[in-house]
Amino acid sequence: MESSMTMKLLGTDTSPYVRKVRLVLLEKNLPHDYLVDAPRDPGSQVARVNPLGRIPALILDDATCVFDSPVIAEYADTLNDTPILIPRDDALARMRVKRWEALADGIMDSAVVVRTERIRAAEKQEPGNIERHNEAISRALAYVAELLGAGDFCEGAALTLADLALASALVYLDLRQPERDWRAAHPTLASWFARMAERDSMKVSLAGQS
């Protein structure tokens, strides 16, 4: 089913959750306008469309707002079949793709916690919290590297949401934890990411990052 809607995606260039959604929209060639709108900025419309005040927020042409990146990604994937990013007819394959997304989102979640702690005043930081979440990231990276192996894609023989979510998590680690040398620790994961970085959708999503 092809969609003729022109949607609006509110987000920021540095949010890994926004990047995941942008990659989905770009890979599926869904018409949309991407609007940089940081929720904390004066005049932000995010809280007016999403009661949680969070990004990404996808506004449909009838003004319906879709929020939370897994919900947006799953909705967007139903709008056309080119490509299908979340398997529809294989329950186990669908579960595996969604599990990959959960792993990637978990890496993002922990990295955001670490980032939030580190920008607090030194006396207010909780080193134990930083350590726990960094350890979670390290475990998750080791797990996904082993699961991926030398494969071209996370699930099956074609691109899925799993790849887009994992790539978004790794971009965020590069941005917020440049001292984490995950490439040296996981060379096959580094090779996979290098291939992903050559996709047009990735290049577009990275163009405005700072």
Q: What is the pLDDT of residue 3?
A: 46
The CATH number of the domain covering residues in 7-77 = 3.40.30.10
pLDDT in tens, 61-117: 999 999 999 999 999 999 999 999 999 999 999 999 999 999 999 999 999 999 999
Question: Domain 91-199 is of which CATH architecture?
Answer: Up-down Bundle (1.20)
Domain ranges of the chain: 7-77, 91-199
pTM for the full predicted model: 0.95
Average pLDDT, the chain: 95
Beta carbons of 173 and 107 less than 8 angstroms apart: yes
pLDDT in tens, 34-67: 999 999 999 999 999 999 999 999 999 999 999 9
